[in-house]
Amino acid sequence: TLCPQELRSGSFWRGVLAEAAATLIFVGVVLGASAAPGPLAPALAGGLVAGGLACTLGAPQANPALTLALLCTRKLGVLRGATRLLAQCAGAVLASAAARLALPDDTGLVTRVTAAGTAGQALAWETFATFQLALAAFADADRAAPLGGLALGSAVAAGALAAGPFSGGSMNPARSLGPAIVTGIWDDHWVS
Protein backbone atom coordinates (compact mmCIF):
# COMPACT_ATOMS: atom_id res chain seq x y z
CA THR A 1 0.00 0.00 0.00
CA LEU A 2 1.03 3.61 -0.50
CA CYS A 3 1.89 5.25 2.79
CA PRO A 4 2.66 9.00 2.92
CA GLN A 5 4.38 8.52 6.28
CA GLU A 6 6.93 6.36 4.54
CA LEU A 7 8.02 9.39 2.51
CA ARG A 8 9.11 11.07 5.75
CA SER A 9 11.25 8.14 6.77
CA GLY A 10 15.01 8.53 6.63
CA SER A 11 15.49 4.85 5.82
CA PHE A 12 13.15 5.21 2.83
CA TRP A 13 15.28 7.98 1.30
CA ARG A 14 18.55 6.22 2.20
CA GLY A 15 17.26 3.25 0.18
CA VAL A 16 16.43 5.48 -2.79
CA LEU A 17 19.84 7.17 -2.59
CA ALA A 18 21.56 3.78 -2.30
CA GLU A 19 19.80 2.63 -5.49
CA ALA A 20 20.81 5.77 -7.40
CA ALA A 21 24.42 5.57 -6.19
CA ALA A 22 24.70 1.82 -6.75
CA THR A 23 23.31 2.06 -10.27
CA LEU A 24 25.58 5.00 -11.08
CA ILE A 25 28.61 3.04 -9.85
CA PHE A 26 27.56 -0.24 -11.49
CA VAL A 27 26.81 1.29 -14.88
CA GLY A 28 29.90 3.50 -14.76
CA VAL A 29 32.20 0.57 -14.01
CA VAL A 30 30.63 -1.64 -16.69
CA LEU A 31 30.76 1.13 -19.30
CA GLY A 32 34.39 1.85 -18.49
CA ALA A 33 35.25 -1.83 -18.83
CA SER A 34 33.28 -2.01 -22.08
CA ALA A 35 35.95 0.14 -23.73
CA ALA A 36 38.20 -2.96 -23.66
CA PRO A 37 37.83 -5.36 -26.60
CA GLY A 38 35.84 -8.52 -25.97
CA PRO A 39 33.20 -9.54 -23.43
CA LEU A 40 35.50 -10.62 -20.58
CA ALA A 41 36.34 -7.21 -19.10
CA PRO A 42 32.73 -5.93 -18.74
CA ALA A 43 31.55 -9.32 -17.42
CA LEU A 44 34.24 -9.44 -14.74
CA ALA A 45 33.87 -5.76 -13.89
CA GLY A 46 30.09 -6.14 -13.60
CA GLY A 47 30.40 -9.19 -11.38
CA LEU A 48 33.01 -7.64 -9.12
CA VAL A 49 31.20 -4.33 -8.72
CA ALA A 50 27.83 -6.06 -8.12
CA GLY A 51 29.39 -8.19 -5.38
CA GLY A 52 31.10 -5.20 -3.83
CA LEU A 53 27.95 -3.09 -3.88
CA ALA A 54 25.92 -5.89 -2.29
CA CYS A 55 28.41 -6.06 0.56
CA THR A 56 28.82 -2.33 1.10
CA LEU A 57 25.44 -0.73 0.39
CA GLY A 58 23.13 -3.36 1.85
CA ALA A 59 22.33 -5.26 -1.34
CA PRO A 60 20.67 -2.63 -3.54
CA GLN A 61 19.16 -4.06 -6.71
CA ALA A 62 20.73 -1.41 -9.00
CA ASN A 63 18.64 -3.14 -11.68
CA PRO A 64 15.03 -2.39 -12.69
CA ALA A 65 14.47 -6.02 -13.75
CA LEU A 66 15.26 -7.21 -10.22
CA THR A 67 13.20 -4.42 -8.65
CA LEU A 68 10.21 -5.36 -10.83
CA ALA A 69 10.64 -9.03 -9.90
CA LEU A 70 10.63 -8.13 -6.20
CA LEU A 71 7.56 -5.91 -6.76
CA CYS A 72 5.66 -8.65 -8.59
CA THR A 73 6.33 -11.13 -5.80
CA ARG A 74 5.41 -8.57 -3.11
CA LYS A 75 8.84 -8.62 -1.54
CA LEU A 76 8.96 -4.86 -2.16
CA GLY A 77 6.18 -2.29 -1.75
CA VAL A 78 4.83 -0.19 -4.60
CA LEU A 79 6.12 3.16 -3.32
CA ARG A 80 9.59 1.83 -2.59
CA GLY A 81 9.67 0.00 -5.89
CA ALA A 82 8.57 2.98 -7.98
CA THR A 83 10.99 5.42 -6.38
CA ARG A 84 13.85 2.94 -6.65
CA LEU A 85 13.11 2.37 -10.35
CA LEU A 86 13.31 6.12 -10.94
CA ALA A 87 16.53 6.35 -8.91
CA GLN A 88 18.07 3.48 -10.88
CA CYS A 89 17.24 5.10 -14.21
CA ALA A 90 18.61 8.47 -13.04
CA GLY A 91 21.84 6.84 -11.83
CA ALA A 92 22.25 5.03 -15.15
CA VAL A 93 21.74 8.19 -17.20
CA LEU A 94 24.28 10.11 -15.08
CA ALA A 95 26.85 7.32 -15.40
CA SER A 96 26.25 7.10 -19.15
CA ALA A 97 26.66 10.84 -19.62
CA ALA A 98 29.94 10.77 -17.68
CA ALA A 99 31.18 7.74 -19.64
CA ARG A 100 30.32 9.40 -22.94
CA LEU A 101 32.41 12.41 -21.93
CA ALA A 102 35.31 10.29 -20.68
CA LEU A 103 35.51 7.61 -23.38
CA PRO A 104 36.93 8.23 -26.86
CA ASP A 105 33.76 7.05 -28.67
CA ASP A 106 30.35 5.48 -28.14
CA THR A 107 31.42 2.00 -29.28
CA GLY A 108 31.09 0.13 -26.00
CA LEU A 109 28.30 2.16 -24.47
CA VAL A 110 25.19 0.72 -26.11
CA THR A 111 24.24 -2.94 -25.77
CA ARG A 112 23.37 -4.41 -29.16
CA VAL A 113 22.26 -7.60 -30.80
CA THR A 114 25.47 -9.00 -32.24
CA ALA A 115 26.19 -10.78 -35.49
CA ALA A 116 26.37 -14.08 -33.56
CA GLY A 117 22.59 -14.50 -33.75
CA THR A 118 19.18 -13.00 -34.33
CA ALA A 119 17.22 -10.61 -32.13
CA GLY A 120 15.10 -13.58 -31.00
CA GLN A 121 18.17 -15.55 -29.93
CA ALA A 122 19.53 -12.49 -28.15
CA LEU A 123 16.22 -12.10 -26.28
CA ALA A 124 16.28 -15.78 -25.27
CA TRP A 125 19.83 -15.49 -23.89
CA GLU A 126 19.08 -12.18 -22.18
CA THR A 127 15.98 -13.70 -20.55
CA PHE A 128 17.90 -16.76 -19.38
CA ALA A 129 20.75 -14.67 -17.96
CA THR A 130 18.34 -12.32 -16.18
CA PHE A 131 16.41 -15.28 -14.73
CA GLN A 132 19.51 -16.81 -13.15
CA LEU A 133 20.45 -13.37 -11.79
CA ALA A 134 16.97 -13.00 -10.29
CA LEU A 135 17.38 -16.36 -8.52
CA ALA A 136 20.51 -15.07 -6.82
CA ALA A 137 18.77 -11.79 -5.95
CA PHE A 138 15.81 -13.62 -4.41
CA ALA A 139 18.12 -15.79 -2.33
CA ASP A 140 19.91 -12.68 -1.14
CA ALA A 141 16.62 -10.86 -0.42
CA ASP A 142 15.47 -13.83 1.68
CA ARG A 143 18.93 -13.95 3.27
CA ALA A 144 19.10 -17.61 2.22
CA ALA A 145 22.48 -16.91 0.63
CA PRO A 146 25.05 -16.39 3.41
CA LEU A 147 27.46 -14.85 0.93
CA GLY A 148 24.97 -12.72 -1.00
CA GLY A 149 27.59 -10.46 -2.56
CA LEU A 150 29.48 -13.43 -3.94
CA ALA A 151 26.27 -15.00 -5.27
CA LEU A 152 25.10 -11.79 -6.95
CA GLY A 153 28.50 -10.97 -8.40
CA SER A 154 28.95 -14.48 -9.75
CA ALA A 155 25.47 -14.41 -11.30
CA VAL A 156 26.18 -11.07 -13.01
CA ALA A 157 29.50 -12.28 -14.40
CA ALA A 158 28.13 -15.66 -15.52
CA GLY A 159 25.09 -14.10 -17.17
CA ALA A 160 27.16 -11.47 -18.96
CA LEU A 161 29.55 -14.13 -20.26
CA ALA A 162 26.69 -16.39 -21.43
CA ALA A 163 24.49 -13.73 -23.05
CA GLY A 164 27.23 -11.30 -24.06
CA PRO A 165 28.03 -12.86 -27.42
CA PHE A 166 24.37 -12.52 -28.45
CA SER A 167 22.92 -9.44 -26.72
CA GLY A 168 25.74 -7.72 -24.90
CA GLY A 169 24.69 -9.48 -21.69
CA SER A 170 23.14 -6.47 -19.99
CA MET A 171 20.55 -8.21 -17.77
CA ASN A 172 19.86 -4.70 -16.54
CA PRO A 173 17.40 -2.35 -18.27
CA ALA A 174 19.03 0.67 -16.60
CA ARG A 175 22.44 -0.31 -17.97
CA SER A 176 20.90 -0.36 -21.46
CA LEU A 177 18.57 2.63 -21.02
CA GLY A 178 21.18 5.13 -19.82
CA PRO A 179 23.47 4.81 -22.85
CA ALA A 180 20.49 4.73 -25.25
CA ILE A 181 19.20 8.03 -23.84
CA VAL A 182 22.63 9.66 -23.90
CA THR A 183 23.63 8.48 -27.41
CA GLY A 184 20.21 8.34 -29.07
CA ILE A 185 20.98 4.81 -30.33
CA TRP A 186 17.93 2.58 -29.84
CA ASP A 187 18.73 -0.32 -32.21
CA ASP A 188 17.04 -3.50 -30.90
CA HIS A 189 16.74 -1.81 -27.51
CA TRP A 190 13.68 -3.95 -26.66
CA VAL A 191 15.98 -6.98 -26.32
CA SER A 192 17.86 -5.63 -23.33
Q: Which amino acid is at 174?
A: A
- pLDDT-derived band at 3 (thresholds 50, 70, 90) equals low
Percent of the chain with pLDDT over 70: 94
Per residue in 56-86, pLDDT tens? 887 678 999 999 998 999 888 899 999 999 9
Instruction: Tally Cβ neighbours within 10 Å of residue 9.
Output: 11
Per residue in 163-189, pLDDT tens? 988 888 889 999 999 999 999 988 888
**Mean pLDDT over the full length of the chain:** 88
* CA nearest to 183, candidates 50, 34, 46: 34
Enumerate the domain spans of the chain: 4-191
Query: How far is it, in rounded angstroms, from Cα 174 to Cα 64?
Result: 6
> What pTM did the predictor assign?
0.90
Listed in order, strand segments (DSSP E) in the chain are none
- Per CATH, the number for 4-191 is 1.20.1080.10
In this predicted structure, what is the pLDDT of residue 109? 84
Q: Which amino acid is at 37?
A: P
In this predicted structure, what is the pLDDT of residue 18? 93
Answer whether 54's CB lies under 8 Å from 152's CB: yes
Answer whether 134's CB lies under 8 Å from 66's CB: yes
In this predicted structure, what is the pLDDT of residue 32? 93
